[in-house]
Amino acid sequence: MKKFINHVDHVAWLSHPDNLDANVARLEQITGATLKRFSRKDMGFTMCISWEAGLEVVAPMHERTDFNTWLWSELEAKGEGVSSVVFGVKDLDAHKARLEKLGFEVGPLMDDHPDSPWHDQLELWERNAGEVMNTNIILGDIDYQDDLIPFVDA
């Protein structure tokens, strides 16, 4: 398994549900990446992601849930756009302890559920570390299958 350490893992945009298809299509046109759609009805959101390209678009479902209430409040306060940058760390607990020692409040663990549709490709652990310039910084300890992220020798 491979992971990004001290490096941006991926960027997540927040989309209104009614604009999700158009936003994803535009992002795919510009980047040439293909984003796969996953719906998590249990949490109340739809996610389109390309792990290979490091691109993610998330939209809350219309029915409010405990989880998507935060997504809706972000949309209402900030509108559509970059919501989060996921920054890869080697040891999520150690990074959390370092930030808390500096006075930062670090969010609860967001883990990869075995029933996640991507579970066979990666193991995902994340924590919200706060905002920088109106963007959430998410700490990510994400282990990818060796062949999931394409690297080439220059």
pLDDT at 113: 63
Burial class (CB in 10 A: 0-12, 13-18, 19+), 79: exposed
pLDDT at 3: 87
pLDDT at 149: 83
pLDDT at 58: 97
The pTM for the full model equals 0.89
> How is the chain split into domains, by residue range?
7-144
- Per residue of the chain (154 residues), give pLDDT as tens: 788 989 999 999 999 999 999 999 999 999 999 999 999 888 899 999 999 999 999 999 999 998 899 999 999 999 999 999 999 999 999 999 999 999 999 999 887 666 666 777 888 899 999 999 999 999 999 988 888 888 777 7
37-to-77, 120, 126, 150 alpha-carbon distances in Å: 25, 16, 20, 20
Q: What HEC string does 10-24 produce?
A: EEEEECCHHHHHHHH
Fold of 7-144: 2,3-Dihydroxybiphenyl 1,2-Dioxygenase; domain 1 (3.10.180)
pLDDT at 135: 94
pLDDT at 54: 95
